Amino acid sequence: MSIGLLLLIILGLGLAGWLVGRQRAVASVAGDIRKLHSLPGYYGHTVFLMTTVPAFLLMIAWTLAQPVVIESRIADMIATSDIPEGSSRGLVMADVRRIADGLDAVVARGEGDATLAAVGVEGADIRARLAEAGVAVGGEVKPSVLAAALEYRALSGTALTALAAVALILALAGLGWSISRIQGEYRARNATEAFVMWLLIGCSLIAVLTTVGIIASLVFETAHFFRLYPAADFFFSATWNPKFGGGSSLGIWPLVWGTLYVSAISLVVAVPVGLMSAIYLAEYASKRTRSWVKPAIEILAGIPTIVYGLFALITVGPLLRDWFAQPLGLGSSSSSVMTAGLVMGIMVIPFVSSLSDDIINAVPQSLRDGSLGLGATSSETVRQVVLPAALPGIVGAVLLAASRAIGETMIVVMGAGAAAKLSLNPFEAMTTVTVKIVSQLTGDTEFASPETLVAFALGLTLFTLTLGLNILALYIVRKYREQYE
């Protein structure tokens, strides 16, 4: 029985339960639904939820646990001598899984279980057969590995049957129990409410746990990196020069400097322009102007970053080189920090302006009236009353723009180049942390060398950087917040 079919059956049971539950509730008060504690539908809901939710949860837990359990049972079947030189048990187990999947494909091609049994005997043939079914297996298949794969298939099949049985029993038990509870005064409405709360808690937990998981994996791989490469060199060296042959120098400072430099330039562009256009939209523009200017600005946010990258590469870069960098004698490269910073600044304008506009609009009109009533002009009112009141939100908007700028990759690759350098000259090519993460992880790379693993250390550094920015902003907001009701 496949998982999909099982899901359908349980869902069907749930729906049937909904109908039965509703009917039973109505019948328990002889059709007078005013005597029920809750609306009849709620009784249906409780039955549906009790039938499906535990069964689904079980299925999720089971499918997560199943591979782990099965592999621990099979692992013993492969002797240490069967593991090739330079490989690990984990890699062999991956082979086992692939062969098992391949066997599934063979069976699916209609060659039946009889063939499969034969395959078990004449193991040498297995590669050709798997290749026929579209599964490529590298290297000779050892008999023990094949045996393990067959066992893996068998166990998986048994496990699936067992899962189906247990899930169905659970669903039926839930169905029976919840139907038996239904009578007129059963508080089905409150029970549904409690379920909704748990659903919401569950969803927020998923978000939190994912973050924790990402951080954990970053920390884990970073620790791995620091075992291969001295942390002191990473943090205190000022050169970035990875060599895949070994002997590379992986100092983070050129990258951090590039990131901060590009982001700073982009914020210098985006914050004043975005904030002032937000003020215009919120305080000065008529409703009609606002209704077309605001969407027009927001279109900027919808342009893919690669298009901005093209703009930087083709237009802004050469322009800056020909009109500023060369005449001023500051460089002759069309890729420069300034190019990437300017284009990125344009990209993040809508983040600043759109959010700030909403925040400024949320400042109560009574504060503006109060200030205007004292004889202040509109701009005095904005400067002295509206902006201080909107400050926390504006700082949030700027931060969002900052984290967009720090995390941006494509514009930097195309606008600022990929050369890691420590320089103050804004017309020189530099690069950022994100660009280097991409370049260290793409291509044919071995996943155990410091040159690759450094990407995780870079990722963690970037994460720490943005976290630090967030904390700083929270502090600023707390300190300078001017609260209004």
Q: Could you tell me the two tokens for 306?
A: 């690669």
Contact call for residue 479 and other proteins (CB under 8 A): no
Query: Among 187, 364, 464, 475, which residue interacts with other proteins (rule: CB under 8 A)?
Result: 364
Cβ–Cβ under 8 Å, residues 280 and 290: no
Binding segment toward other proteins, per CB under 8 A, in 86-94, 143-151, 401-409, 476-484: 476-484
Burial 31-70 (b: 16+ CB within 10 A, else e): eeeeebbbebebbbbbbbbbbbbbbbebbeebeeebeeeb
Considering the complex, what minimum distance in angstroms separates the CB of residue 289 from other proteins?
12
Question: DSSP states of 272-293 as a string?
Answer: HHHHHHHHIIIIIS-HHHHHHH
Between 331 and 392, CB nearer to other proteins = 392
Binding segment toward other proteins, per CB under 8 A, in 2-10, 89-97, 139-147, 378-386: 378-386
Contact call for residue 295 and other proteins (CB under 8 A): no
CA nearest neighbour of 467 among 407, 422, 391: 407
Between 34 and 288, CB nearer to other proteins = 288
DSSP bridge pairs for 241: 249
Contact call for residue 367 and other proteins (CB under 8 A): yes
* Residue 75, H or E segment: none
Contact call for residue 374 and other proteins (CB under 8 A): yes
Between 204 and 483, CB nearer to other proteins = 483
Could you give the CA distance from residue 173 to residue 3 in angstroms, rounded to a whole number? 20
Contact call for residue 145 and other proteins (CB under 8 A): no
Contact call for residue 286 and other proteins (CB under 8 A): yes
Which residues, in sequence order, are CB contacts of 257 under 8 Å at separation 6+?
Answer: 422, 430
Binding segment toward other proteins, per CB under 8 A, in 164-172, 309-317, 383-391, 465-473: 383-391
Neighbours of 126 (CB within 10 A): 22
* Residue 250, H or E segment: strand 249-250
Query: Among 157, 230, 318, 370, which residue interacts with other proteins (rule: CB under 8 A)?
Result: 370
Contact call for residue 443 and other proteins (CB under 8 A): no
**Residue 139: φ, ψ to 5°:** 80, 170
Q: At what angle do helices 337-362 and 287-302 cross, to 10 degrees?
A: 140
Cβ–Cβ under 8 Å, residues 415 and 317: yes
Query: Among 140, 193, 322, 369, which residue interacts with other proteins (rule: CB under 8 A)?
Result: 369
Query: Among 123, 242, 388, 396, which residue interacts with other proteins (rule: CB under 8 A)?
Result: 388
Cβ–Cβ under 8 Å, residues 271 and 401: yes
Considering the complex, what minimum distance in angstroms separates the CB of residue 388 from other proteins?
6
Contact call for residue 373 and other proteins (CB under 8 A): yes
Considering the complex, what minimum distance in angstroms separates the CB of residue 374 from other proteins?
5
Query: Among 11, 15, 372, 419, which residue interacts with other proteins (rule: CB under 8 A)?
Result: 372
Interacting residue ranges for other proteins, rule: CB under 8 A: 286, 364, 366-377, 380, 384-385, 388-389, 482-485
